[in-house]
């Protein structure tokens, strides 16, 4: 029999720390590529803490709001709430407290713009994606994916006090990245979503259409990742990395479209995570080494 996780581990798992690691990487890395130059370490520290807590709070509320869905899916049924180890209202209270604490930290030690943008990401995820779109439309991921695109805006605003067209380009990259990232996993977990009556694209439109749309969004994402260089945000080193990473991403998407196997979907899902991390690393390297 599997060992029961400790209470602390259970509470931490409500906040989905794996996902937050990548959200925070895009937040902090975005602080290093603004016209303001190198951010002070103290500012990076507080943005990291505030951003981490805000995303933790959002995920905890998501675990409370999705308890009826999570209990019906194999992937999520062993989480602390569906398995009865933590009362659902604990997740709600934890999520609200963490969100409020994060807002206070960002407003006090970073700036109001970063605090408000982070709070907007929290509400976008909790209300627009989780409570509304996830349960009602197969476009849930496309529109709801906007939530996950807020972290670079938070980082940019933390470093500069506001937003520019360049920060919106960073938003757009994650916006177009999200559908291939998630639909690869949704293809593998299609039966789970059907059982829980969640209208994910593979359930509603079938796997063929989902694979076609994965390729479409991958191409759009690749095109958008090229734009920063002609728009003089980054140089040729970034462009070379963006093209290389984008070509690998597209190859995985095309292989999935052609073969349609579960291993092909896993490969795309896993590479999507590495891709986003490396793309933001490429942005920072381009700025720091080649500016
Ligand atoms: C609405 C948009 C998104 C949806 C619906 C989504 C959905 C998912 C799902 C269902 C998983 C599997 C989690 C699990 O097995 O417990 C996952 C994993 C992951 N996602 Fe996303 N995702 C989205 C956006 C993002 C964004 C914007 C990021 C980061 C920038 C991200 C980073 C990750 C990471 C790092 C994992 C692996 C987590 C782990 O293995 O611990 N996701 N995503
Ligand atoms: C600035 C800021 C705080 C932004 C918030 C961004 C945020 C929390 C994005 C999370 C995206 C995500 C992992 C969605 C999965 O939800 P799901 O309910 O489909 O996944 P599940 O089935 O694994 O629960």
Domains of the chain: which residue ranges?
10-163, 164-291
Answer whether 276 contacts ligand 1 (Cβ < 6 A): yes
61 CB near ligand 1 (under 6 Å): no
| Ligand 1 pocket residue status of 275, Cβ below 6 Å | no
Give 275 Cα–ligand 2 centroid separation in angstroms: 18
**For the segment 4-25, what is each residue's pLDDT rounded down to a tens digit?**
889 999 999 999 999 999 999 9
- The 10 Å Cβ neighbour count of residue 194 is 16
pLDDT in tens, 129-164: 999 999 999 999 999 989 999 999 999 999 999 999
Q: What is the pLDDT of residues 259-288, one digit of tens each?
A: 889 999 999 999 999 999 999 999 999 998
Question: So what's the pLDDT on residue 5?
Answer: 85
pLDDT bucket at 2, cuts 50 / 70 / 90: low
Q: Is residue 69 very low, low, confident or very high in pLDDT (cuts 50, 70, 90)?
A: very high
Q: Which tens digit of pLDDT belongs to each residue from 87-125?
A: 999 999 999 999 999 999 999 999 999 999 999 999 999
pLDDT of residue 245: 98
**Is 70 exceeded by the pLDDT of residue 257?**
yes
* Atom 20 of ligand 1, residue of closest alpha carbon: 19
| Res 291: pLDDT | 72
Q: Is 178 in the pocket of ligand 1 (CB under 6 A)?
A: yes
The answer to whether the CB of 140 is under 6 A from ligand 2 is no
Cα pseudo-dihedral 247, 276, 145, 148, rounded to 10: -170
Residue 197 burial class via C-beta count within 10 angstroms: exposed 0-12, middle 13-18, buried 19 and up: exposed
CA distance 61 to 14: 9
Instruction: Please determine, for residue 1, whether its predicted confidence score (pLDDT) is greater than 60.
Output: no
3-state helix, strand, coil in the chain (%, to 5): 80, 0, 20
Per CATH, the homologous superfamily of domain 10-163 is: UbiA prenyltransferase (1.10.357.140)
> What is the rounded average pLDDT for all residues in the chain?
97
pLDDT at position 34 over 90:
yes
ipTM: 0.96
The reported pLDDT for the residue numbered 55 is 98
Task: Judge contact between 153 and 29, C-beta under 8 A.
Answer: no
| 139 closest CA partner among 223, 191, 222, 205 | 205
Mean pLDDT across 75-83: 97
Q: Which residue's CA is the closest to the ligand 2 atom numbered 2? A: 121
Spacing, Cα 269 to ligand 1 middle (Å):
9
Q: Is the model's pTM score more than 0.90?
A: yes
Q: Ligand 1 atom 43: the closest Cα is on which residue?
A: 182
| Alpha-carbon span 121 to 119, nearest angstrom | 5
């Amino acid at each position: 029999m599997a060992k029961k996780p400790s209470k602390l581990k259970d509470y931490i798992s409500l906040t989905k720390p794996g996902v937050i690691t990548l959200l925070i990487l895009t937040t902090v890395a975005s602080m290093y590529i603004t016209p303001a130059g190198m951010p002070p370490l103290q500012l990076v520290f507080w943005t990291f803490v505030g951003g981490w807590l805000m995303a933790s709070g959002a995920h905890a509320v998501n675990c409370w709001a999705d308890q009826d869905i999570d209990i019906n899916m194999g992937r999520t049924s062993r989480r602390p709430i569906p398995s009865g180890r933590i009362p659902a209202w604990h997740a709600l209270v934890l999520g609200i407290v963490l969100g409020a604490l994060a807002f206070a930290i960002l407003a006090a030690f970073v700036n109001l713009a970063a605090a408000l943008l982070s709070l907007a990401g929290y509400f976008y995820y909790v209300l627009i994606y989780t409570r509304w779109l996830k349960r009602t439309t197969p476009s849930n991921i496309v529109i709801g994916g906007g939530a996950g695109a807020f972290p670079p805006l938070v980082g940019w605003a933390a470093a500069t006090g506001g937003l520019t067209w360049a920060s919106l380009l960073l938003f757009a990259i994650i916006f177009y990245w999200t559908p291939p990232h998630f639909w690869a996993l949704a293809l593998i977990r299609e039966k789970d979503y059907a059982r829980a009556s969640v209208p994910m694209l593979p359930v509603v439109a079938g796997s063929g259409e989902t694979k076609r749309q994965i390729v479409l969004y991958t191409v759009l994402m690749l095109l958008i990742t090229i734009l920063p260089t002609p728009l003089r945000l980054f140089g040729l080193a970034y462009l070379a990395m963006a093209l290389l990473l984008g070509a690998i991403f597209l190859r995985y998407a095309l292989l999935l479209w052609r073969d349609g196997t579960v291993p092909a979907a896993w490969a795309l899902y896993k590479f999507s995570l590495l891709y986003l991390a490396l793309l933001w690393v490429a942005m920072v390297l381009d700025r720091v080494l080649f500016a």
